[in-house]
Amino acid sequence: MTLAPDEAARTNEELFGRAQRVIPGGVNSPVRAFTSVGGTPYFVARASGARVWDVEGTEYLDLVQSYGAIIAGHAHPTVVEAVQEAALSGTSYGAPTEREVLLAEEICRRVPSCDKVRMVSSGTEATMSAIRLARGFTGRDLVVKFAGNYHGHGDALLADSGSGVAMIDALHHGGVVGRPGSAGVPATAVAETVVVPYNEVPRLDERVACVIVEPVAANMGLIAPVEGFLSGLRAECDRIGALLVFDEVITGFRVAFGGAQAHYGVSPDLSCFGKVIGGGLNVGAFGGRAEIMDLLAPLGPVYQAGTLSGNPLATAAGLATLSLLDESVYPELTKRAGAFADRLQGVMEDAGLTVHCATVGPLVGLYFGDHAPVDFADARRTDEAAYAAFFHAMLDQGVALAPGPYEIMFPGLAHTDDVLGAIVDAAGHAARSVRIG
């Protein structure tokens, strides 16, 4: 029997009502509920390239792009064909496949710091596993993270996080033991997590197993590392024998051919990936030096496993996506995003709004304030009400942004100059309506 959508419930409001009866909050990831911006979420029916259509038939130019998982554009023919071909041979085996080997080889080819890679099913799994491995390798327990960096929803890392957690997590200052960022996370889970300000190199001691960082902070708006920050972390970790872990779930294979570590010339001990390497399907990976990775089971005592790790559909989509991303792609994406950000800021300022549009490679951030933030405390000063008003004004103009002020924009291969120009024009109209309102 084929289950078809209920034709009696084909509006966003009707579907949201039905969803709330069977799904907590009506969504399967909190930010989708529009809690931060108000209103009813749109339910996507289909997508192509830079566009999505909701169940009511409304078309949007999409800058969400599955929060960065899509870089080639929705339903790219190369990716769709790869997934279709893989599905004809089965969707999961619980056994090794050739594609997971090929994808691991491709990641290692692009990222010199990775001798070996372990595939998982999400970015959260990647960071959780990397932390466990770092603790196993060093024999230490303490983990240092940065306020406003989001590393998934693992208990030990859900302290002073960005992204959707920033809306419910009160600001926490200084280099102190983290507190849980969610109910249900016991204090003991973060007792060995120390939270310090982003863009400041902390003084470490021999209790520290690892420092985990977003090399480009992309979950508290977009904040680039200041000069000397990443290299300073590398030197400080080396000084006391701790591991440096880069969370490149967002930046990996998006800001540069080899990720943020290639862009900034700083090599971590462990790297975490997701988003782009799944081509729109759920996947994650972590990798590093062989001497560290070989501590994983079955070779070593650090246990990590997953039935769907290296899933044949996800690896097919990931390989297809990476095949589209040679080194020549990134300068063009970066140039396009830079011009877009300049024009976006210009039309919004012309309309009387005070904003700052930041870029790192093709990543674009929008901060409602008069300067570029440098840390979480700074990022929290963004005008959340202004963002909510602008978000809805942009929806009215046919442009979809992320429904939260701490998310960023992800223009990709499908966002041509014409598409970005249309978005800039829409932003001018939206900004004027917000200013008048």
Strand (E) or helix (H) holding 276? none
Mark whether 247 is an active-site residue: yes
Say how far apart CA 387 and CA 427 lie, in whole Å.
12
Q: Which two tokens stand for residue 16?
A: 């949201």
Find residue 212's DSSP bridge partners.
245
Q: Which residue out of 62, 169, 275, 367 is catalytically annotated?
A: 275
With tokens 């959707």, the residue in question is 164
Residue 180: cis peptide before it, omega within 30 degrees of 0: no
Say how far apart CA 158 and CA 147 lie, in whole Å.
10
Strands 243-247 and 270-273: parallel
- Beta carbons of 290 and 117 less than 8 angstroms apart: no
Q: Which two tokens stand for residue 381?
A: 């000063």
Mark whether 406 is an active-site residue: no
Long-range own/partner contacts, residues 394-397 (CB < 8 A, 24 or more apart): 394/426, 394/427, 394/430, 395/42, 395/60, 396/430, 396/433, 397/426, 397/427, 397/429, 397/430
- Beta carbons of 182 and 153 less than 8 angstroms apart: yes
Best CA proximity match to 167, nearest among 26, 28, 30, 36: 36
Find residue 49's DSSP bridge partners.
74
- Beta carbons of 79 and 72 less than 8 angstroms apart: yes
Find residue 296's DSSP bridge partners.
302
Mark whether 42 is an active-site residue: no
Q: Which residue out of 150, 198, 330, 406 is catalytically annotated?
A: 150
Tell me the three state secondary structure of residue 254: coil
Tell me the three state secondary structure of residue 195: strand
384-to-166, 368, 388, 401, 405 alpha-carbon distances in Å: 11, 8, 6, 14, 6
- Beta carbons of 272 and 123 less than 8 angstroms apart: yes
Q: Which residue out of 54, 160, 247, 378 is catalytically annotated?
A: 247
Q: Which two tokens stand for residue 70?
A: 């899509």
Say how far apart CA 315 and CA 163 lie, in whole Å.
26
Query: Which residues are catalytically annotated?
Result: 150, 247, 275
